[in-house]
Amino acid sequence: MRIVFFGTPDFAVATLEKLLNDNNHQVIAVVTQPDKRRGRGSKMIPSAVKKTALQHNLPIWQPHRIKKDQTTLQLLQQSQADVFVVVAYGQILSSQILQMPKYGCINVHGSILPEYRGAAPIQWSIYDGKQETGITTMLMDEGMDTGAMLLKAYTPISLLENSDTLAEKLATQGAQLLLQTLAKLPDIKPTPQDDALATHARLINKEDYLINWKNSAGQIHNQIRAFYPNCFTTFRQQKLKICNSIPLQDIENLELPPELLKIKSYLSDIDSVKGEVGEIVKTVKNFGFIVQTGSGLLLILEVQLAGKKLQSAWNFINGTHLQLGEFLS
């Protein structure tokens, strides 16, 4: 098939590369968001998809508003594409665009639809404590992820997985599912979504990053890994990011990676440890410190003070001479 690829962030790169390495298809152009100013010096930085497209000498179109950019609309119409493939592009496509390709526009979405329609499905599925997610390919319509579904692929979410690691897994899974979808496209019967089962994965706001220690250990842990590495609290009147944690409820039965197994040997007396909400109640040698939440205890493993680099919570303890009884607020 002749394909125009629409995408912007790292999540979309795996699918673009999969298409470029497949002899059955030809990517004839890439549509991505305009370069943005980022980092120190506010340099203009291209999207991850644009960087990949440049490496393969592909035509690149970067309209600010694709619905009204007449030059891009004309290029898309003239492309004679069989299909437009859309992966986390970041703009809504008009009905005019959706009707251009022979087989329509296929979207690779990071959830099992109709759950988590919207901009941040990976983050909100972790935040809600889901144990499973996946990828859905669908035929796009004018709604927000409301089109008829084509194929689905599932993947588990482990308790210690964050949005970055899950996104990497889903990006690889999505690339493979897209190729399967294209191969079977003439024979797939699209399945309409049940709107009554739909949930919305809204854009993430800065307010979502603030930790409220009155919440349960499980809720805070899910927030930390969903919005990694941005969740923060206050320590000694300074902003402190909390980047990695473990809820300690039923710690004996928790499956931990080999490098963390020794934690269990330090927590034999954990049932007797209690404090006020936000209080640092215990340290765990070589690992970190434990905070009392509104319900349950949370072990903090990695932190980042404002203006400093990410570090282990154990190094933070030693560097700040942290004392039991201090509070995160």
Which positions make up the binding site for (6S)-5,6,7,8-tetrahydrofolate?
111-114
Q: Which residues contact 120 (CB under 8 A, 6 or more apart)?
A: 201, 202, 203, 204
Other C-beta atoms closer than 10 Å to the C-beta of 2 total 15
Tell which residue, 2, 56, 53, has the closest CA to residue 31. Answer: 53
Are 153 and 173 in contact, with CB atoms under 8 Å apart?
A: yes
**How far, in Å, CA of 299 to CA of 302, rounded?**
10
- CB-based contact 264:252 (threshold 8 Å): yes
Annotated binding-site residue numbers: 111-114
Please tell me whether the peptide bond between 190 and the residue prior to it is cis, using omega within 30 degrees of 0: no
Residue type, 3: I
**Token pair 């898309």 is at which residue?**
76
